Amino acid sequence: MVQPDTGAREHRERRQGLLAAGPEGAVTDDQAGQTAEGVARAAAADQQPAHQRPAHQQPAHQQPAHQQPALPPGQYIPRTLPVLHYGPVPAFNSQTWDLRIMGATESGDVVKLRWDDVAEMPAGQVTADFHCVTKFTVLGVQWAGLPATELLRRFPPAAAVTHVMIWADFGYSANIRISDFAAEGTLLATHRDGERLSPEHGYPLRLVVPHLYAWKSVKWVRALEYLTADRRGFWEERGYHNIADPWQEQRYSYQEREGEGPPL
């Protein structure tokens, strides 16, 4: 596969990178028994004045200037949240939609969840900066949805699993390490900033990985495949970095060090 080194090809592929959540944030314990709908309503209805909250609970864009975290290398802050994705926006039908958990599951079975099953699971919330590989960062985006840790608890992988491939409609995919999927802030999001996701932002379900570049937070998630060996996803096969840490500015595969990804 070609690598997006320089010139027009790099520009086109960078403009097509998917959106993702940023590097920090945590799912709150007190929301473990709520549904995503309830978490979103609670977040939107939060009545505590911002000036009364401890500084560490403030979104990054509301913290005092001396406490604002530095942006990852090469990032800038846009005026609005751009919408970038590869391919069309899929239609959603709650009667036919499903989420599959497959590959090296502990049980050896393929799990098939309907939309009602997902909607009824305990939900959490994460507020994090949002870093896209195309170099924009949106501060303090609030997501609500199903914590990945809850899925891992209910449908555990086999002991030998090292990575997860996230599959979306139309065959799009992205690979992440199992440690990234199991991180405290990783969500399968249904809401953003107190509102249900819009179709162009991934409705009904998108992954949010709060410490990796944009394209790893796959929109329109349809399957999770547990892997016992790493395998590159869609953009990773086309020249993007296999790990995608924004703080290390891991944008492209030519930056990979030995052991950071399978051969192209």
Q: How far apart, in whole angstroms, are the C-alpha atoms of residue 6 and residue 70?
A: 27
Residue 66 CB-density burial (10 A; 0-12 exposed, 13-18 middle, 19+ buried): exposed
- Answer yes or no: is 145 within a domain: yes
> Can you tell me the mean pLDDT for 32-46?
38
- Here the CATH number for the domain that contains residue 93 is 3.90.420.10
- Answer yes or no: is 85 within a domain: yes
Most confident of the following: 3-12, 31-40, 56-65, 147-156: 147-156
Residue 206's domain spans which residues? 7-45+69-255
Residue 158 near residue 226 (C-beta atoms within 8 A): yes
pLDDT of 133 strictly over 80: yes
Residue 185 near residue 27 (C-beta atoms within 8 A): yes
- Answer yes or no: is 25 within a domain: yes
pLDDT of 39 strictly over 60: no
Supply the pTM of this predicted model.
Answer: 0.74
- Answer yes or no: is 14 within a domain: yes
- Answer yes or no: is 169 within a domain: yes
> Can you tell me the mean pLDDT for 86-101?
92
- Answer yes or no: is 59 within a domain: no
For residue 226, the cross-strand partners are 103, 164
- Answer yes or no: is 171 within a domain: yes
Radius of gyration of the chain (CA): 18
Q: How far apart, in whole angstroms, are the C-alpha atoms of residue 135 and residue 127?
A: 20
Pairing of the two strands 98-103 and 111-114: antiparallel
- Answer yes or no: is 52 within a domain: no
Measured in whole angstroms, the distance separating CA 171 from the mean position of its chain's CA atoms is: 17
Counting the structural domains of the chain, the total is 1
Residue 22: pLDDT band (50, 70, 90) is very low
Q: Which two tokens stand for residue 123?
A: 């939900």
